[in-house]
Homo-oligomer: A and B are copies of this chain.
Amino acid sequence: MRKDSRLSRVLHALIHLDHHGKPATSDDIGKMLGTNPVVVRRTMAALREQGYVSAVKGHNGGWSLARPLSDITLYDIHKALGDSSVFTIGLTDEHNNCPIEHGVNNALRDVMHEAEALLLARFKQVTLANLASEFGQHSV
């Protein structure tokens, strides 16, 4: 299935931002991520709206962290990107009131909720500073 790599991408960008010292332009970040500056703006916009980064226009402008990495968890970023379901597995629309269909969907939903809860709980435990330090590059 088509994968959503926005989380992976934006985490990469944020940790780079932390090292960069000064604001990085969408163009800079695009080059780091191997993508387009417009894609960068689009993705970073979601984080800006939640107060994790700020953007400045014009000369010497660009993106900066609005909080230290130690104050941001994987969960925060995941949520900021929009909390669409994490699974490629979907349920059928229950059009025809079939009790079997309902039963199957309920059972799958339960198991998926449980796995999603585990995933999100883990995401809450990991700050971006944790991530950054994992490969010996320490943040503030």
Contacts and interface: CB of A to CB of B under 8 A. Distances in A.
Interface of A: 1-5, 7-9, 11-12, 15-16, 32-34, 74, 84-93, 95-96, 98-108, 111-112, 114-116, 118-119, 122-123, 126, 131-132, 134-135, 137
Interface secondary structure of A, over-half rule: helix
Chain copies in the assembled complex:
2
10 contacts: A1-B85, A4-B88, A4-B89, A8-B89, A12-B98, A87-B87, A99-B135, A106-B134, A111-B119, A111-B126
B16 A100 contact: yes
Given A100-B135, A104-B131, A115-B122, A92 B8 contact: yes
A132 to B, nearest CB: 8
